[in-house]
Amino acid sequence: MKVGVARETAPGERRVALVPEVIGKLIAGGHEVLVEQGAGDGAAIPDGAYVEAGARSVSTDELYGEADVVLRVQKPSEAEVGRLRKGQAVVGFLQPLIDPGGAQRLAERGATAISLDMLPRTLSRAQTMDALSSQANVGGYKAVLIACNAFGRYFPLLTTAAGTAKPANVLVLGIGVAGLQAIATARRLGAVVRAYDVRSETREQAESLGGQFLVLKSVSDASGSGGYARELSAEERAAQQEELNGHIAGMDVVITTAQVPGRRPPVLVTEAAVRAMKPGSVIVDMAASALGGNVELSKADEVVVTDNGVTIHAPTNLPATMPAGASNFYARNISALLLHFLKDGTLNVDLSDEITAGTVVTHEGAVVHEQVKKLLQPAGESSESSAGTPPAAGTPPAAGRPPAPDAPGAPTSSSPTPASGRGAASAPGGAR
């Protein structure tokens, strides 16, 4: 089989789907690897490195004309979808729950679409394929570095002849993969770290990394199924927010990680909480997107400095800011998933397999993933009916759908939940 590696075209995306170190496994399995020219430039991997690893460096036309399966990070653009051939497969973060119309267009092209962000991540055999967790690790690490750089003071306790610097007080909201890595990184830098999550079972995870678990008297345990958080009632949310605001006010750095794909993230840090923080304090909103963020005053991909001197960073794609490290992890995830599909030199789409059924969105000209099919149905149509006209590009998913796997927690919940992670069962670095 010919495996293609596409050059990413999404703005700001610097990662690449495969790195030279991983290509050898595919070649050893009898597969040919084609890499689009310039695919690794953003991650500082020259075309020659791929050639030395045994791949062929090809043009865009050659890639889409020859490859049986195209590996990528972000979903393909309209132009790239138009290049796909009938029967060709595309693998990456395709985001079908956010853009079901894009899935419909892939089906119309006759492509087999395999989405890494739909992986059933509670399966132990899927751990090596879990790109959401590996990229969340990168994000949690980088969020702390951004905060440290913006803080303007020391993170650790420091005693010198010129005086003593107190350690920074850091609060991490959401103890999932990203949150755990943020806790670990801030502790390594010497900060005093507190962490909060509505799921009581995350306490041990936070404390094992040196963090102090913040216990709110106003909210009882809100653990849900699969290690995710349940939705809080309106009364619980209000009580939680009031008590949380008091803790936020005393922090030097706050890092938030709660996401619900396709919807506005829950607001965890209100404007009032920001106004109560000390001048020079820093917030990093890891959930920031065009839909909003965990911080009421954050603006996606902008740095906001409030009137009272609080700096709010709202990066929307932190893994892309560490392209070499993030690509190394991602390449191992996507190659593991690809090898799961490859049988006797061909792509075997066995929808009776849990991993296959969870990740395959389109196949043989149709949308086959049940969640995506429901999103494509016209309002009022029963779930047994066939998919209808897809919504216009950018239309949010229909209300009532469950959250995507990279956003543990119930839709519309304002409770902190892990961002892009398996929940409390995961540990920094992707180890289980």
* Digit-coded pLDDT (tens) for 22-46: 999 999 999 999 999 999 999 999 9
Q: Do domains 2-129+323-376 and 144-321+411-430 have the same CATH topology?
A: yes
Residue 380: pLDDT band (50, 70, 90) is low
Statement: 2-129+323-376 belongs to CATH 3.40.50.720: yes
Ranges of H-type helices in 44-126:
47-52, 60-66, 78-83, 100-108
Closest CA to 82 of 90, 91, 74: 90
Buried b / exposed e over 28-42, threshold 16 CB at 10 Å, is: eeebbbbbbeebbeb
Question: Where along the chain do its domains lie?
Answer: 2-129+323-376, 144-321+411-430
pTM here? 0.85
In the three-class reduction of DSSP (H, G, I as helix; E, B as strand; rest coil), residue 261 is classed as: coil
Segment 96-114 shows an average pLDDT of 97
**Residue 125 burial class via C-beta count within 10 angstroms: exposed 0-12, middle 13-18, buried 19 and up:** exposed
pLDDT over 70 (residue 384): no
Statement: 144-321+411-430 belongs to CATH 3.30.2450.30: no
**Residue 382 burial class via C-beta count within 10 angstroms: exposed 0-12, middle 13-18, buried 19 and up:** exposed
Annotated active-site positions, please? 121, 127, 130, 133, 228
Segment 385-409 shows an average pLDDT of 36
Residue 91: pLDDT band (50, 70, 90) is very high
User: What is the C-alpha end-to-end distance of the chain, expressed in Å?
Assistant: 32
Rounded Cα distance, 146 and 314, in Å: 10
The answer to whether 3 and 29 are in contact (CB under 8 A) is no
Read off the pLDDT of residues 248-264 as tens digits, 9 standing for 90 and up: 999 999 999 988 765 77
Rounded mean pLDDT of the chain? 87
